[in-house]
Structure 1
Amino acid sequence: MVAAAVAGAAGALGGAAAVGGWAVRALGGAAAPGGGAARAPRLWGWGWGGSSRRLWVPSGQAAAAASPPDPSGALSPFDRQLKRKQKNWAALQPEPAKCDYLREEVGGRVADRVFDITRAFPLALDVGSGRGYIAQHLTKETVEKLIQVDIAENALKNAMETEIPTVSVVADEEFLPFKEDTFDLVVSSLSLHWVNDLPRAFREIHQVLKPDGVFIGAMFGGDTLYELRCSLQLAELEREGGFSPHVSPFTAVSDLGHLLSRAGFNTLTVDTDEIQVNYPGLFEVMEDLQGMGESNCSWNRKPLLHRETILAAAAIYQEMYGNSDGSVPATFQIYYMIGWKFHESQARPAQRGSATVSLGDLAKINGLLSRRKK
């Protein structure tokens, strides 16, 4: 009974609003996990209409950009169709906002970084927007129009209200169906850790940005849910003599700046933060991860956990990480990134050797000033 109850939630978090008119859906070229013919891309959605049609890439180009996943997981570790189903399921729950606390918090922190830039953005793009966790914190004085892109149509249909005019676009974050040099700002919160090709996703974001446009994003980091990962591994080693991955791979912070630089971004800023949430126990952690749409979608995931294994994992979790009040912590590591697309007006570092004062001279001046004070 316990095994049946947790089978749907056994996968843990990975390492990876509509207004009248129309928009674009680009979910094409994806082969079914069991094989079969690839499906042609379908285009639909909602938007503010009018001249916004020039934003979209023709459907033929979108189809050419999409490529079928590799079921072996060698090149495509994540089952994107399964991730779409998970997020759609979560968005249709009676109280979808019940498990949105983490996404709302990080979305607010991304919005704060947008406010730190003293300019207005006529047109912005939210990649992996979900139910609009960034948009609800933005103002129309900062962002005049916003396009929200997500792989799950139910999340977009149930998006939270915002004062900014929005367009909802159902599309894969890895294959953005927009023309080059379109957006003044691109934001993303807790979505890019599920893409199969992160370098390509960064290149797509860079391509759709206008010169002097900025990308501000957040994604889960390598220490996310280390308590859950260790508890499940120890329980499986004890009960089954080996373990399978239940927490998907994450990007290391040391690689993030390099990936952004390779994609063409400059003036990079990368920082990290941790959010710790306390839960009654392991089962509640898994339940909320499922409610977030963050269940594991790796191709090599284990389909279920045995009853004895999950009970052992819950006991190990409590013993190793439990708080004095009986709750258990779950740690979420967040990487925040800011990158700019090059423009001639941007400040650039001076050429090497062009300085007129040496650091040694500055040190002498500091010494003289300190002696005068004495």
Structure 2
Amino acid sequence: MTAPPRIFDRQAVRRHRDRAAPGFADVDFLFAAAADALLERLGDVRRDFDVALDLSAGRSGLAGRLPARHTIAADLSPAALARTGPGTPRLAADEEWLPFAEASLDLVVSVLSLHWVNDLPGSLIQINRALKPDRLFSAVLMGGETLRELRHCLTEAEAELRGGVAPRISPMADVRDLGGLLQRAGFAMPVADTERLTVRYADPVTLLRELGAMGEGNALADRERCALRRDVLARAVELYGARYAGGDGRVPMTVDLIFLAGWSPGPDQPKPLQPGSAKQRLADALDTREVRVPRR
């Protein structure tokens, strides 16, 4: 088997979160909004769970809020994990190498963490295996058009001043692709949907500063190790303001939150009917006339 491509530097991801941990509470609004939206979706599930695992516990703020008797707090960053406080079992764990026994968990959640995983299909398979039959996985991650304004302006500024473009912003998965990954990982009744948020900043420099304070800085494996040139940054800021600033001078940041949910297979789950087993014609149900299409 071939190894998955190394898109992200996982050690850099951990360092970013470690450094961000002390002041994370000052910039946690995006994570709080994502966590609240995930909890709202869990509220529609009429079931209580025994053992839950929060794979993003250091930044999700979900400690004590999940519909489960017991919660295990896990995070890639030990420093971020310390923010969960006492009273909850804590484990520094990598989503790419989960140390949980097969069929040992009832609920697994993740808030704005899995978009930094290199082998997302492999992580989803591990999560599915760790769940007991007919148990739930629910996550939210960044994807779609997230940071599209920043991506466009940095790309154009670097191409103009350097004659080339360095990797600055992570590739973002589409909601349809992520829904397909749930199916590939063996989840039953997979669901994927998206919500778009627009956050407005006084200027692009403040936006960049807060991304770093969130622990969401550049952790691409093939990133440049030197800092962004000042002239490139100045040009990107100029482009950002000229193209996207509103009447008040503030600039937007687009964030697409992609929500995933799926159940581990279980014997009592509804199964799709076999083709040709329907007892009623679709045309009758729709009160329309059936038209046969000739074969070519």
Q: Tell me if TM exceeds 0.5.
A: yes
Output the CA distance in 1 between the equivalents of 2:93 and 2:256: 27
* Other-structure match for 2:62: 134
1:213-239 deviation line (CA, Å, top 9, x unaligned): 111111111310000001111111221
C-alpha deviations, 1:111-157, integer Å up to 9, x for none? 11111100101110111222342336x25xx2111111101111111
Larger radius of gyration: 1
2:293 alignment counterpart: none
> Which among 250, 264, 272 is matched to residue 349 of structure 1?
272
TM-score, length of structure 1 as denominator length: 0.73
User: How far did 1:362 drift?
Assistant: 2.5
TM-score normalised over the length of structure 2: 0.92
Identify unmatched segments of 5+ residues in structure 1. 1-69, 367-374
> 2: distance between equivalents of 1:363 and 1:92?
59
Structure 1 residue 160: deviation in Å? 6.2
User: Which residue number corresponds to residue 9 of structure 1?
Assistant: none
Match of residue 245, structure 2, among 318, 322, 343: 322
Is 1:266–2:182 an aligned residue pair?
A: no
Q: Where do residues 1-374 of structure 1 align in structure 2 (5 Å cutoff)?
A: 75-93=5-23, 96-135=24-63, 138=65, 142-159=67-84, 166-302=88-224, 303-364=226-287
Deviations 1:320-349 (A, max 9, x none): 111110100000111101111111111112
How much has 1:167 moved relative to structure 2? 1.4
Shift of 1:355: 1.6
Which residue identity lines up with residue 45 of structure 2 in the other structure?
Answer: I
Letter in 1 for 2:27: C
How many percent of aligned residue pairs carry the same amino acid? Answer: 38
Measure how far apart 1:365 and its partner are.
8.9
Return structure 1 stretches of 4+ with deviation > 3 angstroms.
363-366
How many angstroms does 1:196 deviate by? 1.1
Aligned residues: 286
Post-superposition CA distance 1:47-90 (Å, at most 9, x none): xxxxxxxxxxxxxxxxxxxxxxx9xxx82111111111110000
1:372 corresponding residue in structure 2 = none
1:132/1:160 contact within 8 Å kept: no
Q: Label 1:292 to 1:358 Cα distance change in 2 as closer, same or farther (>3 A).
A: same
Consecutive unaligned residues of structure 2, counting only runs of 5 or more, are 290-296
> Aligned equivalents of 1:194 and 1:351: distance in 2?
39
Distance in 2 between residues matched to 1:155 and 1:342, nearest whole Å: 33
Instruction: Determine if contact 2:125/2:185 at 8 Å carries over to the other structure.
Output: yes
- Partner Cα separation in structure 2 for residue 308 and residue 365 of structure 1: 65
Contact 2:176 / 2:192 at 8 angstroms: preserved in 1? no
Helix, strand or coil at the partner of 1:218? strand
Give the Cα–Cα distance (whole angstroms) in 2 for the partners of residues 126 and 227 of structure 1: 31
8 Å Cα contact 1:110-1:134 kept in structure 2: no
When the two chains are superposed, the root-mean-square deviation of aligned CA atoms in Å is 1.8
| CA distance in structure 2 between the aligned counterparts of 1:286 and 1:160, rounded to whole angstroms | 29
In structure 2, the CA distance between the partners of 1:364 and 1:109, relative to structure 1 (3 Å rule), is closer
